[in-house]
Amino acid sequence: MADFSPWPALAGGVLIGCAATVLLWVNGRIAGICGVLAGLLPPRSDWLWRTGFLGALLFTGLLAALVFPEAIGASPASLPWLAVAGLLVGVGTRLGNGCTSGHGVCGISRLSPRSIAATATFVGFGVLTVALVRTFGGLP
């Protein structure tokens, strides 16, 4: 970690926190990204705020990639591994009734015991996964 710089992560965290706060204040909704996305399929009457929120997330990510390209690196994993990982995350969010943004950002800030337990599980399995990948030589 010779190139460790907390500033991009801090800026991203502030943006996520602000987006979650604005969504809660304006719409009274929790910014659980998986739930926001899942609410678009099938289309519902509240599609406008959902597409606007997701569009703003994508736009901000693209803007960050243009302004700070060094902060967003390429994945060391191959496309098939990324697809498998994405499917596992999707299954996990359905089983856990929420994702890291809903539980980790919004739930913990509301002191939800269920969200605290879910986030501890996410983080614990993330640590375990990193340890296993490093122990067994990385991804193919």
User: Which residues contact residue 74 at a Cβ distance below 8 angstroms, ignoring those fewer than 6 apart?
Assistant: none
User: Which segments within the chain are labelled E, that is strand?
Assistant: none
| pLDDT tens digits along 12-55 | 889 888 988 998 899 888 888 888 888 888 878 889 999 999 99
The pLDDT value recorded for residue 140 is 59
pLDDT tens digits, 48-83: 999 999 999 899 888 888 887 877 777 778 889 889
| Structural domain spans, the chain | 1-73, 75-140
| pLDDT for res 55 | 94
For 20, counting Cβ atoms within 10 Å of its Cβ (0-12 exposed, 13-18 middle, 19+ buried), the class is buried
Instruction: Indicate the pTM of the whole model.
Output: 0.74
